[in-house]
Structure 1
Amino acid sequence: MAAQSYIAISELHPNFSHPTVVGIIIWKSDVKSFPDRKNIGTDRFTFGFTIRDSPDFFINVSAWGNDRYINGLSTSFRTGDCVAIENALVAHKDPEKEERFCPTTPSFYRLLVTEAHSQVCLCADMDIIDKLLPLIHLPVKDSRDFYSLGDIVANGQRLDGSVINILAAAKTIGQPKQFTTSDGRKGQRLEVKLFDDSVSSFPLVCWDREAIQLMQTLIPRESVLFIADAKISFDSFRNGMAATVTSKTLITVNPDTREASLLFSYAKQVSESGARDQDEKPDDVSVDSITDVYTVIQLKQRARDTPEPFFGITYSFISKLDLDSSVSKVIKMRCSRCKFQVTEDAQSCVNQLCPGRDQLFSATTGFDLLVDFTDHTGTLHTCTLRSPVAENMLGYTTEEFKSLTDDERTAVKWKFLLERCKIYVKILPSTKMKTGIKGIVLACSLADPGDVQQHMSALLQ
């Protein structure tokens, strides 16, 4: 079919008969069913999607039909595909239904697709596809019209129930959780943790299968999202705000905007510099309150079962402790405000989005090590050991350690290496680690043999 025979979304009108429209899919809903009032005992099936053919115009499409047709049509394309729609009915919007259940569009109309009259197929014209593909990276709202996560947290419960736009980066993608409602319907839920330069972790909850599938394609710490019309609510369980993807929400992945580009650079710097996340702060709980004892395999198993950080004790051997590396690998300087690593002679922070860039630069020096610990069940690799925990464990300040000879540093290393220790840890999910989890040492000391025997025998029972 020739390109000129397609009708632009901006020109659609109910008077047109047999229009053919092309566009890139920027939103898609799950399939739903309703009792058919005309044929008692049968169901009608439906799903919706939104197509875009220009920076300024996009339109909602509703498909209706029987189970086989609708489910077959729904699985034939996904968000990001370019489609051609032949012979759809152009209808006036039903403002009440559209505004409640579908994304807001600039068009006065909507398209209706049925098996008897319409056809939807993947677009095969490469010239058209090349023109449509960049549209997937254009937000559907003004690219400057958004809340930062810091704005949301600062406004708190004043935003409860409101619908807003958010620009943030994906930090972690949870695992989908399946559930069955009290009336027997099956559902699913997935939680994404967002971050930006103002907040290190903020929950975004998805309930629709389509939204969940989109989220599972994201690369954590490398995907920036413009989330148009997210619902904000106060989560009493978390005692904080949370965002939810609804049937009105349109998500643009890696938007082609200046604001998104800045945030992408920040996310990349965070990932590459090893800047410490808020989650990594070791002072969330007092060490004295941690009592649960785990083997290494139990730590890994619990981390797989729950995406939330947790705390525990393990009686393990320190199997890697590179204290006799060069001092620059053991002791590092970081910006006091954003925790980016800086060189010893730095006069300013290299992080372009550091909240203190226009203020007097200050940095902190501390132990910054990665250690492994091992027991009879396995090894937990590359756990973070930083000051002041490392100073308490080793018995040296950074200045005292710098003044030690190479032989003295090696002696300190062998005091702990391959020795059984009592290690207090915080475990949290991490996309940067091959294992998917990260350990942070909160306290570590040589273990008392009686203590080890008591706890290890209890674990082996």
Structure 2
Amino acid sequence: MPGRTLLRRIRIGALQQGDEGVLVVGVIIAKRQSRSFAGKDGHTRFVAEMTIRDSPQDWINVTLWMANEVLAEALDANYHVGDVVEIAQPKVQLKESEPKFSPTVSSPFQLTFSDPPSSIMKHPERRPDLQRLLQVPTKSLAYFCTLADIHTNPHIQAGNEVDLLGAIRAVGPTRKFKTKGRPEAKEREVREIRLFDQLSSNLILKLWDFEWIHMADDWTPTQDILFLADVRVDKDDFRQCKVVTATSRTIIAINPNIEEAKHLATYARHANFSLGAQVERSVSTIDYQTIRKVSNIVTLQDLTNTGGISGESDFPSIVFGYITKMDLDGDVGKIVHLRCSECHSIIPVATKLCSNIDCQAFNDHNFVQRQTPKWNLKMDVSDSTGTLENCRVDGDAATRLVGKIEEFVDLSEADKTSLKWRHFIQPVKLWLVILLPNMDRARSSTVILNWNPVTLDEFAKDTPIPPIQ
């Protein structure tokens, strides 16, 4: 590099406005594709942007101005997130107070690269100390959202920027298209990534930038964790749900070295996306003791038929009614389930052998299943206005209703029938939740969270008056 001996290497945290003849070394943590525009002199110019970092505390935005397409294409092709670069003779200027189209950075300055006299090259030595910075989030961990917050928090609106921690559930293909009505427009690309965490099984992340789209080729479902700084919340009109989009302000840390990511990675390796598991995750966030609203069944039926309340993913309520169907004396294999601790397929309680041919525990008598049997109890609930059919009964509520699993399976058929009819003739107060349709559930689902027998006086006093048809 000509004149390199005259340069002063300065760390990002030590930069001062107006510094000249400096050399800055850092790892690229974000990069935007170059774009062209016509200058005032009529000549086409090219500009690209990147963000570099040289310590956990210091990172800065770099704007690169280039006079011709060859340089722009070379920059796009040869420099990527994760590369350690040397930037020589940039201008050191005060940054905008709140940059609208660039990542939030720690430095009060920005670097401006103009060719000439500025130059950029890859650092000639391996720098694991700098590349480890790719795993350090650029935003505080105190304020990141859960994926469930995006779906359910009414204060998070389309257009808001949020920070998220999510595991990769699926990496979609890259789709190419041209903007409608603009035949001269360049072909664009978009890619969708499905994320999940401990409380939500699905949130779509949209990638529009070349750099992130091609980095996603190396992302592995259930193995890689992303910390997303400043992704934008959008409304997907086709799916009728919220999604998030990586923009020019977004920085993505892959497999961040933080405790929260380690916990999520452990969970992700054994994640279960079956409908039953999704229901369990949703129900686990609801405390039945906080439910105050009392509804009759026709109101809840109207709710499920119309798709629920805008912005709500579940509807908890209290119902006074009767249990009108509960097949306790049916096939015990339909009432009690055991799932394989490797692949989560349902396996017979009697044999405890997995029948999934793709599972490493397939028909293995020596494999010790680490999961205990769980209730798969369902019932119909009725009042004077209608019936909620096929309601799932949460595990704790099922145990209170019919006893422990190991005791229930030993009951005679006559005892099971007697137990069933004992509950049929008694008015009850039921705490339940309607889980409304979403990206993973095509239909609504009703879950009984708790129950208590009530007197006829309580039943009459607290049951809502049916609506007039």
Using structure 2 for the length normalisation, give the TM-score. Answer: 0.58
**Partner-residue secondary structure (3-state), 1:104:** coil
Amino acid aligned to 1:67: E
Structure 2 distance, partners of 1:110, 1:90, is 6
Query: Gaps spanning 5+ residues in structure 1: where?
Result: 283-322, 333-340, 349-358, 364-397, 400-427, 430-461
Write out per-residue CA displacement over residues 117-141 of structure 1, whole angstroms, 9 at most, x where no aligned residue. Answer: 1111111233xx1221111100000
What is the CA–CA distance in structure 2 between the aligned matches of 1:245 and 1:342, rounded to whole Å?
Answer: 43
Separation of aligned partners in 1, 2:59 and 2:368 = 46
* Amino acid corresponding to residue 83 of structure 2 in structure 1: D
| Paired letter, 2:108 | F
Determine the C-alpha separation between the residues in 1 that align with 2:371 and 2:232. 46
Aligned equivalents of 1:220, 1:330: Cα separation in 2: 23
CA 1:346/1:77 → structure 2, altered by over 3 Å: closer, same or farther? same
Secondary structure (helix, strand or coil) at the match of 2:153 reads helix
Give the CA deviation at 1:276. Answer: 3.6
Q: Structure 1, residues 381-410: CA drift from partner, whole Å, max 9, x if none?
A: xxxxxxxxxxxxxxxxx99xxxxxxxxxxx
Stretches of structure 2 that go unaligned for 5 or more consecutive residues are 280-346, 357-366, 375-394, 400-408, 411-438, 441-469
Deviation at 1:92, TM superposition (A): 1.6
Q: Which of the residues 61, 86, 96 maps onto 2:88?
A: 86
Select the residue among 274, 278, 281 that pairs with 1:277: 274
> Structure 1 residues 141 and 118, CA, compared in 2 at 3 Å: closer, same or farther?
same
The runs of 4+ residues in structure 1 deviating greater than 3 Å are: 276-282, 341-348, 359-363
Which residue of structure 1 lines up, in the alignment, with residue 114 of structure 2? Answer: 114
Instruction: Determine the C-alpha separation between the residues in 1 that align with 2:90 and 2:244.
Output: 35
Query: Quick one: structure 1 residues 362 and 137, their matched pair in 2 at CA, closer, same or farther if it must change by over 3 Å?
Result: farther
Question: Contact 1:21–1:84 at 8 Å: present in 2 too?
Answer: yes
Deviation at 1:214, TM superposition (A): 1.9
**What is the distance in 2 between the residues matched to 1:278 and 1:225?**
25
Equivalent position SS for 1:261: helix
How does 1:53-452 map onto structure 2 within 5 Å? 53-65=54-66, 66-95=68-97, 99-126=99-126, 129-156=127-154, 158-181=156-179, 182-183=181-182, 184-185=184-185, 186-270=187-271, 275-278=272-275, 327-330=351-354, 343=369, 346=372
Q: Is the 8 A contact 2:230 2:249 kept in 1?
A: yes
Between the aligned partners of 1:15 and 1:49, the Cα distance in structure 2 is 20
Question: Does the aligned pair in 1 maintain the 2:8–2:21 contact within 8 Å?
Answer: no
SS in 2 for 1:94: coil
Preserved contact between residue 141 and residue 228 of structure 1 (Cα < 8 Å)? yes
Is the partner of 2:265 in helix, strand or coil? helix
Deviation at 1:142, TM superposition (A): 1.1
**CA gap 1:157/1:178 in 2 versus in 1, 3 angstroms:** farther
CA positional deviation for 1:160: 2.0
Q: Which amino acid aligns with 2:160?
A: S
Offset at residue 216 of structure 1 (A) = 2.0
Q: Distance in 1 between matches of 2:121 and 2:165?
A: 32
- Deviation at 1:259? 0.4
Query: Residue 222 of structure 1 contacts residue 264 of structure 1 at CA under 8 Å; is this kept in 2?
Result: yes
Give the secondary structure class of the aligned counterpart of 2:55. coil
Asked which structure has the greater CA Rg, the reply is: 2
Other-structure match for 1:440: none
Check 1:106–1:344 CA distance in 2 against 1; reply closer, same or farther (3 A cut). closer
Alpha-carbon distance in 2 for matches of 1:362, 1:213: 49
Q: 1-side partners of 2:244 and 2:116: how far apart?
A: 40
Change (3 A) 1:12 1:240: same
| Deviation of the 1:342 alpha carbon | 8.9
* C-alpha spacing 1:281/1:27, structure 2 compared with 1 (3 Å): closer
Paired residue secondary structure (1:215)? helix
Give the 3-state SS of the residue equivalent to 2:124 in structure 1: coil
After superposition, the Cα gap between the structure-2 partners of 1:362 and 1:63, relative to the gap in structure 1 and judged at 3 Å, is farther
Identify if the C-alpha distance between structure 1 residues 58 and 330 changes in structure 2 by more than 3 Å, giving closer, same or farther. closer
Q: Offset at 1:210?
A: 1.2
Aligned length: 299
| Counterpart contact for 1:86–1:119, Cα < 8 Å | yes
Distance 1:109 1:154, change over 3 A: same
Give, in whole Å, the separation in 2 of the partners of 1:152 and 1:236: 15
Moved more, 12-21 or 154-163: 154-163
Distance in 2 (CA, whole Å) between partners of 1:344 and 1:188 is: 44
Question: Are 1:138 and 1:252, in contact at CA under 8 Å, matched by a contact in 2?
Answer: yes
Q: TM-score, normalised by structure 1?
A: 0.59
Q: Secondary structure in 1 aligned to 2:226?
A: strand
Q: Tell me, in whole angstroms, the C-alpha distance in 1 between the residues paired with 2:107 and 2:141.
A: 20
Residues 277 and 43 of structure 1: CA distance in aligned 2, closer, same or farther (over 3 Å): farther
* Paired residue secondary structure (1:100): coil
